[in-house]
Amino acid sequence: MALRTQIGVIALLAAMLAAGWIWLSGWEYPAESRELKGARSSATLVLVEALSLAEDRVVLRAVGTGEALRSASLHPAVAGEVVEVLFEAEQKIRKGAPLLRLDDEHEQLAVRLAEIAESEARRQVKRYEKLAPSGTVSIVSLQTAQAELKSAGLRLAQAKAALRDRTLYAPFDGVIGMSEADPGDRVTDETPIASLDDRSFIQVKFSVPEEYARRLAVGDPIAVRSWIAPDLDLRGAISATDSRIDPVTRTLRVKARIPNPDETIRPGTSFDVRMEFTGRAYPSVREVAVLWSRDGAYLWRVVGGRAEKVFVTMIRREQGRVLVDGPLEAGDLIVVEGVQGLRAGQPVEPRAYKDDQIGETRPVPNDGPA
């Protein structure tokens, strides 16, 4: 009995101490705090933010390769021995400028012979034309002389064309590369002599995923940056798109054109290509406001002072915010903090969410949806 008595006395003393502590602690809070505590017991404090809409902006990046606006690998028209190279590497060339001469001694002789033959045929025609009216020369002889003159003229044109083929000319304005031939070399029409590039514009070729194919159009602006000169930001526009999607890579080939006024960019340069696409406007919320359940992503919205669960579809994340799609409107109060433990229809006390100091809040009207 002594042990039970001791246990009872100890329990009684513990109860008296607890009651005294509760009674004393009640005097530590002013009446106003007790009233606020009682008011909050029925509503959960949450931090909310008015919903805003934001455009769905996508930045697409790709690796591109630069090409000259026009480019040609130059070959001689005929075979022969090189007697003179008339250009230097990186020289700016005008259209029609001679670049390479082959041995043309025989062709020059052929032109002189053709000129003599054509001159003689012309003299014969003039002579027959004077004699034909008197009947000294028949009309048939005159016609034969005229035909011979035409034939001599064609042979002269042929000889001049053969002579011209012994010289290689620039097909367009551009910058020429290093020579692949030297005087004394024997070349054929398959021997590459040099490359010629029109670098006034650079064409950048790249590929984009097929999901963006319908958003592209000729004339759309792009920004490119060379990997070897990251501080040089260039602007251009799409100049052409392919007619089909590659069935293997599931991409679309695209070509863009960028100006190169100083011709500092060389063909073959690799580029970081950037394009921006702007889509429809979606509700934009903070990442912390999005929760997940078995049924998908959802938010808590404050309507009439009560929590309402709204299921949404995730569109895109960007810099701490999320674009979502769902039955939301601009101005809706979305719970940002205090989302844990909320239930549908639960009374809440909304206060404005502030980035700089979350602890400092101001009341938000809860008489209905914003």
SS3 99: strand
| Amino acid 3: pLDDT | 60
- One-letter amino acid for residue 313 of the chain: T
pLDDT along the chain (370 residues), means of 10: 64 67 48 41 83 84 93 94 94 94 94 94 90 81 89 94 95 93 93 94 94 88 86 89 93 94 88 86 90 91 92 86 90 88 88 60 42
CA 20/CA 88 separation, integer angstroms: 104
Which pairing describes strands 270-286 and 186-187: parallel, antiparallel, or unpaired?
A: unpaired
CA distances from 22 to 8, 11, 31, 45 (A): 21, 17, 16, 25
CATH of domain 44-55+281-352: 2.40.420.20
Closest of 319, 296, 345, 331 to residue 48, by C-alpha: 331
Contact criterion met (CB below 8 Å) for 82 and 100: yes
| Amino acid 280: pLDDT | 80
Q: Which two tokens stand for residue 334?
A: 């979305």
Spans of all domains in the chain:
44-55+281-352, 61-68+194-280, 77-100+167-192, 104-165
| Amino acid 363: pLDDT | 46
CA atoms in the 13 A half-sphere facing the CB of 186? 0
| Predicted model pTM | 0.60
Closest of 291, 296, 287, 288 to residue 316, by C-alpha: 287
Closest of 165, 183, 176, 196 to residue 79, by C-alpha: 165
| Amino acid 198: pLDDT | 94
| Amino acid 355: pLDDT | 57
CA 230/CA 241 separation, integer angstroms: 26
| Amino acid 122: pLDDT | 93
| Amino acid 19: pLDDT | 64
Q: For residue 111, which phi and psi values (nearest 5 degrees)?
A: -65, -40
SS3 84: strand
Any idea which fold 61-68+194-280 has? Answer: Elongation Factor Tu (Ef-tu); domain 3 (2.40.30)
Helix %, strand %, coil % for the chain, to 5?
25, 40, 30
Domain 104-165, classified CATH 1.10.3210, yes or no: no
| Amino acid 21: pLDDT | 56
CATH of domain 77-100+167-192: 2.40.50.100
